[in-house]
Structure formats: C-alpha cells, structure tokens
Structure 1
Amino acid sequence: MAGRVSRSVSSMAAMAALLLLALMQFAIHGHAASPPPGTVKIEGFSYNGDGCPPGSAEGSVSDDARALTVMFSKYTATTDAGNSGLRRACTVTAVLSYPQGFRFHLVDVTLRGYAKLDAGVTGTIQTSYYISGVKGTARARRVIPGAFDDNFEYTDSFAAAVYSECNSVRNLQLVSEVRVSPAKPPKSGLLTIDSQDLRLTEVFAITWESC
C-alpha cells in the first residue's frame, strides 16, 4: 500500500528520520459470521490533535467490513522545532453503523513505513483504542532503535481486548502517537508524514462476532 519513500538528508548535519506510513491494522476477531457486505459504514468521523490538523485525515470501511482505514496526510514530529516538536498525537472518533446481532474488538495493528534514524536515536509509535461507555483501553507499542534506514512493516498485538456492546453503536476512539527521542550528545531527528510522498495509514482489520 505504501510506496517507496525517499528523503534527502544533508551531509552537513546528523539527521535522523522516522518516516511513517503506519498501516494500523486492528483485527476484530470473533466467531462465525460477519455482517453482510456493504452493511458496515462510517456514520461519523472526526479527529483532533497536533498530528492531524483540519483537513489532513480521512476514513473508510472496506466492502467486506473487515478493514477500517484511516489515512493522515500531515503527521510530523521533529527535533528541528525543539522539545515541542518531538511528539505528535491524534485521536480519531469513528461512529460505525452495522446490523444488529454483531460485536467486535480490535486485535492488532500493522505499521508500514520508512525509518531513517541515526545511532542512538529512537522512534516510537504508540496506538490504543477504546469504545465510549465501555470499560477498558487496549494498547500497543512499537520502538524502532537507530541506526535504522529502511522500509518497515510491523504487526503488534494489543495486550487486552475491548469489545463493543452487542446491538449498541458507540463511538470508537482510535488514539495514536509518534515520537522521536534524540541521542546524547544531541542529534537531529525527524518523524514526518506529508501529503506528497509520505502517509500515515491506520487500517483496523475487522473480524466480527455474532452475539
């Protein structure tokens, strides 16, 4: 899904970059049937955070109801802005419409992208989800240590399962954070997604459970 990402790095500076095309695939596993094709839709979609300014995110659900995709076009953390730029985060609120008799939970998140990190620089991607009105938050975390300069694909499982309620549609909250931790002595670092050649994508793979 992610194309090859290239980025020039000045030979005059020690540059570390974590360029994320993070395809976050949250599997929703369960028993037996899934909702009929085309019956699961996003009825509401909103987002907030310094990693996702207005107009920079969009969401969709696959026809087979097994993938909820969220794409960001501007998601940047960098040492160039001082301490204030080292971390960026975004919270997405999705309201799913689906037939009665089903519930789901998110199992894992798949991250795809490109990282360029100098030795001693660390890139971290944290994801979590919760469902409004339902107890519990599920979390996953990926740490990419430098030196690293390559495309990557990781799948990380959530430590716990948070189930939606049967026959009750509530807001699904998808929370992500990207961070660059510079080395000592300081080295520059960049974690960025832009609208031209870099994209952070979260694909929440859905398997349904009858209830």
Structure 2
Amino acid sequence: MLTTAAATLLAVSSAVVPATGTDEVPASVEVASVNGSGCPAGTADTSASGNTFSVSYRAFFAQAGGGANPADSRRNCQLSLRVSLPPGYTYGLAATSYTGFAHVEEGASALHRVSFYFQGTSPTVAVDHPFTGPLTGEWRSDYRPAEIVYSPCGDDRNLNINAELRVRTTDPSKRSFLVADASRGALRAKYEFAVKPC
C-alpha cells in the first residue's frame, strides 16, 4: 500500500483594507471537514490556528493495472473550509498547488483535477493536470485564476476544494499510479460595498 505524509498550508493575508476596498483583509480559516475515497477517516490529520491550516495525507493515491482493484482507479479528497471575516467582507480562492509522484506506464494516462465551489452552489472552476505515459517522477500543478471568484455577499458559506486523482491503463498487467502528497493555497478577501437608493 502506498503511504504519503505531507503538510498543507493555507496562508490568508491579514492586511487592513484601505479606502479603495481592493486589498486583502483580516480573515480566520479553519478546516471544517476532510473526507472522500482518497482520505477516509483516520488517514488525514488537520490543524488550524488563526488564518492558517494544515492537512497531512497518508492514503491519497489512485492506481490501475498490475492487479489493482478497479475501484482504486479514481480517488477524491474534499476539504471544506470555514472562513470568518469582519461584516461586509467576502473572499475567494487566490491560488492553490498540489505536488506528488506519478508512475504512468506506456499507453496509460492519469489525471489530477481540482475544483472548488462555495457551499450550496455548483462547481465554479475545475482545473485539469493530465499525465501521459511513459512517465515516472515528481509532479506539481498550480492554479492561479486570472479573476478570483468571490463568495456570495451576505452569506456565510464554506469553501469546498475537491481534488481527484484518476488513472487509466490499456495493459492490465502493468501498474500505473498517481499520488498527491501535498497541497497548499491562499484565500483573498475584499470589501463589498452596499448600495441602496436614497
């Protein structure tokens, strides 16, 4: 069985917003839950303090071929983040990155997908990082949106970040696998001005 242990760090800026309302503002984040087929109970450890959190994964991998169970070809791990902000502020995901290790045989392929959405809404962004065999080595995927999608103003909604690993092979005698061993990201918050007619 593959075992991974990695730390995840989410940094949220704590600068005071100026009059322009465009810079980052104080925030506090906590990991509300970690679950999925790639991080079942007892295989992920979390901690949070102020505006940072960390997650250590010990079983987030997908594999196919070489006698692997067909159900192992797709795994996911979803983080649900609870973010506390001063009244009148909103936040969005500014960046996230994942690192891991891949062994993909010739003729096989693998995929790392990250999507995020605010609680009660449909996924707003999905980013794919494909792998084509033959390939063996470390990998990294980065997501930094050109335009940040912010949470709905006036609603207290968790941010869900779902990561998937998928492996497909054309030769069932040869094992291919994809491991995610670390991730980190950053939130950005901004002030939303309320406007009403006089």
TM over 0.5: yes
Per-residue CA deviation, residues 30-78 of structure 1 (Å, 9 max, x unaligned), is 921321xxx5131x52133211110222445575x4x654432211322
Q: Please tell me the root mean square deviation across aligned C-alpha atoms, in Å.
A: 3.5
Specify the SS of the correspondent of 1:106.
strand
The structure with more radius of gyration: 2
Q: What code does the residue aligned with 2:80 have?
A: T
Partner of 1:34: 25
Partner of 1:92: 79
In the alignment, structure 1 segments of 5+ residues that lack a partner are 1-16, 194-199
1:203 aligns with 2:184: yes
Aligned with residue 104 of structure 2, among 100, 117, 134: 117
The change in CA–CA distance for 1:125 and 1:47 in structure 2 (over 3 A counts) is same
Q: What code does the residue aligned with 2:82 have?
A: V
Partner of 2:17: none
Partner of 1:78: 63
TM-score relative to the length of structure 2: 0.72
The change in CA–CA distance for 1:50 and 1:201 in structure 2 (over 3 A counts) is same
Partner of 2:120: 133
The change in CA–CA distance for 1:146 and 1:185 in structure 2 (over 3 A counts) is same
Alignment partners' CA distance in 2, 1:125 and 1:25: 20
Alignment partners' CA distance in 2, 1:159 and 1:203: 18
Structure having the higher strand fraction is 2
Q: What code does the residue aligned with 1:207 have?
A: R
The change in CA–CA distance for 1:152 and 1:91 in structure 2 (over 3 A counts) is closer
Specify the SS of the correspondent of 1:85.
helix
Q: CA deviation at 1:165?
A: 2.7
Q: CA deviation at 1:132?
A: 1.5
| 8 Å CA contact 1:24, 1:109 repeated in 2 | no
| 8 Å CA contact 1:91, 1:174 repeated in 2 | yes
Partner of 1:9: none
Q: What code does the residue aligned with 2:160 have?
A: Q
Q: What code does the residue aligned with 1:202 have?
A: S
Alignment partners' CA distance in 2, 1:91 and 1:33: 25
The change in CA–CA distance for 1:168 and 1:70 in structure 2 (over 3 A counts) is farther
Specify the SS of the correspondent of 1:51.
coil
Between 167-176 and 125-134, report the one with greater CA deviation: 167-176
Which runs of at least 4 in structure 1 moved beyond 4 Å after TM superposition? Answer: 19-28, 60-63, 157-161
The change in CA–CA distance for 1:209 and 1:58 in structure 2 (over 3 A counts) is farther
Identity fraction in percent: 25
The change in CA–CA distance for 1:134 and 1:118 in structure 2 (over 3 A counts) is closer
Q: What code does the residue aligned with 1:54 have?
A: A
Higher relative contact order (CA 8 A, sep 6+): 1
Partner of 2:44: 57
Q: What code does the residue aligned with 2:22 have?
A: H
Specify the SS of the correspondent of 2:38.
coil
Alignment partners' CA distance in 1, 2:12 and 2:112: 18
Q: CA deviation at 1:126?
A: 0.7
